[in-house]
Amino acid sequence: MKKLTSDDISGNLKGDLFIQSYQKKPVIDGVEIIEIKKFSVEDGTFEELVRINEKGCLESVPEFQIKQINRSEILPGAIKAWHIHLNQEDIWYVSPNDHMILGLWDVRESSATKDVKMRIVMGGGSSKLVLIPRGVAHGVVNVSNKKGTVIYFVNQQYNIQDPDEYRLPWDKAGADFWTMEKG
């Protein structure tokens, strides 16, 4: 077979050709992605989400002591963003049966990865935990056509008198940030 070049592509499409990049994208300083093993057996599946040591800390993130576990239900197409904690870290989990995109944005002034943005597919058949450091803005979009659930572990208890939750407008990083990539 004869090898083709871009000159062999229809003239009205040549200007639209591009090569998709599969290079590793930058990771925000302090973000950790912990893959969870999923065991499939004859009668279903099993996943061990976390192990907690005798100090109440996660074995996979030994400096993270759980103070509260929360659950948030996200409607199809809903965007919950942006929020920031100054004194709290989060660890997020989404079931492999759901499909969401976790958005992260490093807004820490002195960070080596200041202004780096990340999109992490959560669920979609895989299981992972994502550690979100304090000062990293975060949010989520449910790209599924059904309700989805986020379980998140935090190392500070919520205090209604002195909340450590600051918000930015959902579209502050651009409304297209939350749009599912097509192509």
Tell me if 36 sits within 8 A of 50, measured CB to CB. Answer: no
Q: What are 159's two structure tokens?
A: 């205090």
Reduce the DSSP state of residue 13 to 3 states and report it.
helix
Q: Is pLDDT of 138 > 90?
A: yes
Structure tokens at 153: 């572990």
How much is the pLDDT for 1? Answer: 86
Q: What structural domains and CATH numbers belong to the chain?
A: 25-169 (2.60.120.10)
According to the model, what pLDDT value does residue 26 have?
87
**98-122 confidence digits (pLDDT tens):** 999 999 999 999 999 999 999 999 9
User: Is the pLDDT assigned to residue 183 strictly greater than 70?
Assistant: no
DSSP string for 109-166 = TT-TTTT-EEEEEEETT--EEEEE-TTEEEEEEE-SSS-EEEEEEESS---TTS---E
61-65, 105-109, 177-181: the lowest-pLDDT one: 177-181
